[in-house]
Amino acid sequence: AQSVAQPEDQVNVAEGNPLTVKCTYSVSGNPYLFWYVQYPNRGLQFLLKYITGDNLVKGSYGFEAEFNKSQTSFHLKKPSALVSDSALYFCAVRDSSGNTPLVFGKGTRLSVIA
């Protein structure tokens, strides 16, 4: 069975500082990994994905994520946080070996303080 863990319910960071939102996963085959962001009263918006290739993936709004197979992690990062980055972030995984649905983590609320 596939699963995703986001160990932090809340991350606080000062504006201009780098941010990291953590995600670890478990799949039986190779993972397909995604990050989504959710603003209040809105649906989820796609940020970036890892399917294959370079371990460092760049996405929307200056976000990037690094796939680490040995640590089964896919942490989301941004070099310089903005107040407008404050939102709920979801990591999701799908096993490449089967036709299985995307499994989402419980989400991490990011607060960027001016």
Binding residues (CB under 8 A) for another protein: these are 9, 32, 34, 36, 41-46, 49, 51, 90, 94, 96, 99, 101-107
The distance of closest approach from Cβ of residue 15 to another protein in the complex, given in angstroms and rounded to an integer, is: 26
15 vs 96 by CB, closer to another protein:
96
Shortest CB 3 distance to another protein, Å: 11
We find the least distance from the C-beta atom of residue 57 to another protein, in angstroms, to be 12
What are the b/e assignments for 6-34, b being 16+ CB within 10 Å? beeeebebeeeeebebbbbbebeeebbbb
By C-beta, is 54 or 101 nearer to another protein?
A: 101
- 17 vs 55, beta carbon nearer another protein: 55
d(CA 113, CA 70): 33
